[in-house]
Structure 1
Amino acid sequence: MQTRTRDGLVLLLVGVLLGGGLAWLLGRRRESPPAAPRALDAVPAGALLVATLDLPALRASPAFAPFLREEREIPGLGKVRDVCGFDPVAALTEVAIAIPAAGEGGDFGLVAAGAIQDQALLACASKVIEARGGKPVVAGLGGFRAVRDSSAEGRGEIAVRPGGPILLGGGAYLRAMVDAVEGRAATVGASAAHDDIARAVGEGAARVTVVLTPEQRAELGRELALGGAGRAPAASIVAGGAAVALGPEIAVHAAVLCDAEAPCAELGAQLRAARDARAGDLATRLLGLGGVLERVAIAADGKALHARVKLSAEEAGALVERLASLRGLRQPSLAPREPPAPAEPPALGDAAAPRGDAGAPPPDAIIAPRQRPRPDDAGAP
Structure 2
Amino acid sequence: MQTRTRDGLVLLLVGVLLGGGLAWLLGRRRESPPAAPRALDAVPAGALLVATLDLPALRASPAFASFLREEREIPGLGKVRDVCGFDPLAGLTEVAIAIPAAGEGGDFGLVAAGAVQDQALLACASKVIEARGGKPVVAGLGSFRAVRDSSDEGRGEIAVRPGGPILLGGGAYLRAMVDAAEGRAATVGASGAHDHIARAVGEGAARVTVVLTPEQRAELGRELALSGAGRAPAASIVAGGAAVALGPEIAVHGAVLCDAEAPCAELGAQLRAARDARAGDLATRLIGLGAVLERVAIAADGKALHARVKLSAEEAGALVERLASLRGLRQPSLAPREPPAPAEPPALGGSAAPRGDAAPRMDAGAPPPDAIITPRRRPVPDDAGAP
Instruction: Place the TM-score, normalised by the shorter chain, in its bin.
Output: 0.7 to 0.9
Give how far 1:71 is off.
0.1
Whether the aligned pair in 2 keeps the contact of 1:275 and 1:294 (CA below 8 Å) is yes
SS at match of 1:330: coil
Give how far 1:230 is off.
3.0
Give how far 1:287 is off.
1.3
Counterpart in the other structure of 1:8? 8
SS at match of 1:244: strand
Whether the aligned pair in 2 keeps the contact of 1:298 and 1:378 (CA below 8 Å) is no
Counting only pairs closer than 5 Å after superposition, residues 312-327 of structure 1 correspond to structure 2 as 312-327=312-327
Distance 1:323 1:368, change over 3 A: farther
Distance 2:126 2:44 in 1: 27
Give how far 1:327 is off.
3.5
Whether the aligned pair in 1 keeps the contact of 2:93 and 2:113 (CA below 8 Å) is yes
Give how far 1:36 is off.
1.1
Distance 1:155 1:377 in 2: 25
Aligned residue pair count:
381
Give how far 1:286 is off.
1.1
Pick which of 239-248 and 367-376 moved more: 367-376
Give how far 1:153 is off.
0.6
Whether the aligned pair in 1 keeps the contact of 2:46 and 2:384 (CA below 8 Å) is no
Distance 1:329 1:346, change over 3 A: farther
Distance 1:280 1:138 in 2: 55
Give how far 1:207 is off.
0.1
Whether the aligned pair in 2 keeps the contact of 1:52 and 1:206 (CA below 8 Å) is yes
Distance 1:213 1:376 in 2: 6
Give the root-mean-square deviation of aligned CA atoms. Answer: 10.8
Pick which of 27-36 and 349-358 moved more: 349-358
Pick which of 306-315 and 342-351 moved more: 342-351
Whether the aligned pair in 1 keeps the contact of 2:105 and 2:375 (CA below 8 Å) is no
Post-superposition CA distance 1:182-226 (Å, at most 9, x none): 000000000000000000000000000000000000001111122
TM-score, with normalisation over the residues of structure 2? Answer: 0.79
Higher relative contact order (CA 8 A, sep 6+): 2
Whether the aligned pair in 1 keeps the contact of 2:213 and 2:385 (CA below 8 Å) is no
Distance 1:248 1:195 in 2: 27
Distance 1:285 1:92 in 2: 36
Distance 2:194 2:102 in 1: 16
Distance 1:350 1:39, change over 3 A: same
Distance 1:340 1:128, change over 3 A: closer
Distance 1:241 1:9, change over 3 A: closer
Q: Which runs of 4+ in 1 moved over 3 A?
A: 1-33, 327-381
Give how far 1:352 is off.
39
Give how far 1:346 is off.
33
Distance 1:11 1:113, change over 3 A: same
Post-superposition CA distance 1:296-342 (Å, at most 9, x none): 00000000000000000000000000000013499999999999999
2:299 is equivalent to residue 286 of structure 1: no
Give how far 1:34 is off.
2.1
Whether the aligned pair in 1 keeps the contact of 2:52 and 2:207 (CA below 8 Å) is yes
Post-superposition CA distance 1:254-281 (Å, at most 9, x none): 0000000000000000000000001111
Pick which of 220-229 and 313-322 moved more: 220-229
Post-superposition CA distance 1:17-66 (Å, at most 9, x none): 99999999978854754211100000000000000000000000000001
SS at match of 1:139: strand
Distance 1:331 1:283 in 2: 24
Distance 1:75 1:23, change over 3 A: same
Whether the aligned pair in 2 keeps the contact of 1:298 and 1:380 (CA below 8 Å) is no
Post-superposition CA distance 1:240-259 (Å, at most 9, x none): 00000000000000000000
Distance 1:295 1:137, change over 3 A: same
SS at match of 2:372: coil
Distance 1:279 1:121 in 2: 46
Distance 1:375 1:109 in 2: 18
Identity of aligned residues (%): 95
Structure 1: any 5+ residue segments left out of the alignment? none
Distance 1:126 1:262, change over 3 A: same
Counting only pairs closer than 5 Å after superposition, residues 39-188 of structure 1 correspond to structure 2 as 39-188=39-188
Distance 1:27 1:359, change over 3 A: closer
Distance 1:347 1:254, change over 3 A: farther
Distance 1:16 1:323, change over 3 A: closer
Post-superposition CA distance 1:63-84 (Å, at most 9, x none): 0001101100000000000000
2:352 is equivalent to residue 346 of structure 1: no
Give how far 1:228 is off.
2.4
Whether the aligned pair in 2 keeps the contact of 1:142 and 1:178 (CA below 8 Å) is yes
Distance 1:375 1:178 in 2: 22
Distance 1:171 1:9, change over 3 A: same
Distance 2:29 2:221 in 1: 55
Whether the aligned pair in 1 keeps the contact of 2:158 and 2:168 (CA below 8 Å) is yes
Post-superposition CA distance 1:118-167 (Å, at most 9, x none): 00100110110011111110010010000000001120100000000000
TM-score, with normalisation over the residues of structure 1? Answer: 0.80
Distance 1:366 1:122 in 2: 30
Structure 2: any 5+ residue segments left out of the alignment? 357-362
Distance 1:352 1:300, change over 3 A: farther
Distance 1:351 1:97, change over 3 A: same
